[in-house]
Amino acid sequence: MSKKFFGTDGIRGRVGEEPLTADFALRLANAAARATGLSRGKVVIGKDTRLSGYMFESALEAGFVSAGFDVFMTGPLPTPGIAYLTQKFGADMGVVISASHNQYFDNGIKFFDGAGAKLSDETEAKIERMTLEGAITRDSAELGKAKRIDSALAQYEEFLLASFPADVNLEGLKLVVDCAHGATYKVAPRVLSELGAEIIPIGCSPNGRNINAGCGSTHPELLQTTVRGVGAHLGLALDGDGDRVVMVDHEGNVVDGDQLLYLLALGRKRDGLLKGPVVGTVMTNLGLERKLQSLGIEFMRSKVGDRHVLEMLRAHGGVLGGEASGHVLCLDKATTGDGVLSALEVLAEVKRTGKSLAELVADMPRYPQLMINVKISGKIDLDGHEGIQAARREIESGLGDRGRVVLRASGTEPLIRVMVEGENQQEVEQAAQALADQVRTLA
């Protein structure tokens, strides 16, 4: 289904450029309210720490109120916190103002339904159509109201603490926590400290412009250096809106979402809690798939995006899925990806087994994988370009069953992602460069 504004994870772009303007945000909120078919409703709105969040918060508030919705504003709160509170408050919709791992000059708007789940393609398309029709304002007596929820952060913290096993604590663990100067800058250190860990916080001083700047899950170098420097047992890095996490072992090695998924799958299988298949995406490392299969654990691949992982898990009765980027879904604990909760799940395994993070993921092989992002100025028909497809077929033929090729357009940035994976590092690098060069001829 073709959509003009919605991408892989909501609407995202440069602030001040269409569609990321205050006017558009007002019309979008108004349309989202009307798309529910309700004349009265409730919506929870949260944001990360970007300076532009104030502007979009006000615009969204006006759009929802004018359509008859009562608005509950939480202020800075992780995306999964909004999903949780949408359910808890019995709201009809949740909205997050965030561009996730992007820098501060970008922003985005993403939605949850009343069950705390991402919207369907059909619902997003309906909202788009109604946004283009313009906003309406109900009669004064039918307008909504707006208020701030001062207890939102505390309620989300209580949820996270309640998710942690009652018979386990984090005493004796020294952890470095990188919050990317984003939405988790308060909640992550407080929850981990409450559970008994010694915390060294970094990336916890947001100023509206430093979100994801050289820190967080997409820039783990600072975390790696700090973990080694302070002699921590491990470190964790969240992204700007807190729905993804990557970790670093005591030696400073990055442990990505695929490895975390492996670790959690083994723990749930051991405890008899693993239901249905484990779901990754087309980008998931082949080493995870083959290792899980060797252990008798079914593995399936979805399209890129945690929303698609969620859809496949639900369709097949699974509880565990995710992406290498650090989006991990534990549907037996939450309705959406939650970086802090995922970290807590991993830390519980570390304490229960008495093993280090490095030991817990040592058995999962990782195939050499190279992804090259090719910048583009507009949409490219990858499937219809014979030169690109011929190059792809040649590479796939050479790799055989020893590797894979993934070629796709990014859903959040103007990029074509070229990924090649195989058993031989040199072969992978040469193939990826050759295919990327073909794509650049169209860029």
Q: Active-site residue numbers?
A: 100
Q: Which residues pair with 234 in a beta bridge?
A: 175
199 touches 193 (CB < 8 A): yes
340 touches 187 (CB < 8 A): yes
257 touches 323 (CB < 8 A): yes
56 touches 109 (CB < 8 A): yes
List all residues 6 or more positions away from 312 whose beta carbon is below 8 Å from its beta carbon.
279, 300, 302, 318, 321
List all residues 6 or more positions away from 94 whose beta carbon is below 8 Å from its beta carbon.
43, 44, 45, 46, 82, 83, 85, 86, 111, 112, 113, 116
Q: DSSP string of 69-118?
A: EEEEEEEE--HHHHHHHHHHTT-SEEEEE--TTS-TTEEEEEEEETTS-B
State CA 216 to chain mean position distance.
13
Count CB atoms within 10 A of the CB of residue 53: 24
Count CB atoms within 10 A of the CB of residue 270: 12
One-letter-per-residue 3-state SS of 230-268: HCCCEEEEECCCCCCEEEECCCCCEECHHHHHHHHHHHH
